[in-house]
């Protein structure tokens, strides 16, 4: 989860580039099943953009995207995963999306701390974690 030089600014070259990207990002979520909800979760390490789908009860499936992606990538799987349990997709700070790191999150231990903070802020004490790519390194650090 390496962030740019200034964690609060991200990697956009201009405000126009940011707006163009976020427009495309929002359109990508049109592929998610309906209804879904989104929220920003603020912790000491980041402001994390969270996407939810499915019923309120049950142990949630928490989706962690790969490097350089966002929660939008999970659209082919969300309806099936959310048929019987909540699905929560997190946009990791430092990657394309609406999440913003408040401090650098590049060592795996810092990324694991971020995940623990977000899950705690969401009231999640138990979850099925699904991820790929470099996400696996910080999941191992969280053990």
Query: What are the tens digits of pLDDT across the range 35-82?
Result: 999 999 999 889 999 999 999 999 999 999 888 888 999 999 999 999
Residue 7: per-residue pLDDT: 46
Residue 9 has pLDDT above 80, yes or no: no
Mean pLDDT of the chain, nearest integer: 85
Residue 134 has pLDDT above 60, yes or no: yes
Q: Name 40's Cβ contacts closer than 8 Å, sequence gap at least 6.
A: 47, 48, 49, 50, 98
Instruction: Please give the average per-residue pLDDT across 97-117, as a whole number.
Output: 82
Residue 142: per-residue pLDDT: 60
Nearest 5°: phi and psi at 90? -105, 135
């Amino acid at each position: 989860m390496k962030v740019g030089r200034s964690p609060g600014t991200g990697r956009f070259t201009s405000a126009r580039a940011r707006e163009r990207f976020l427009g495309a990002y929002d359109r990508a979520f049109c592929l998610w099943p309906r209804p879904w909800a989104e929220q920003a979760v603020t912790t000491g390490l980041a402001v994390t953009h969270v996407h939810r789908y499915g019923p309120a009860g049950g142990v949630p499936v928490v989706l962690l995207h790969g490097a350089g992606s966002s929660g939008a990538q999970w659209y082919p799987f969300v309806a099936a995963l959310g048929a019987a349990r909540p699905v929560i997709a997190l946009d990791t700070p430092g990657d394309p999306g609406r999440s913003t790191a408040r401090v650098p999150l590049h060592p795996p231990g810092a990324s694991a701390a971020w995940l623990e903070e977000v899950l705690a802020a969401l009231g999640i004490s138990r979850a099925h974690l699904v991820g790929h790519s470099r996400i696996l390194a910080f999941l191992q650090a969280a053990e």
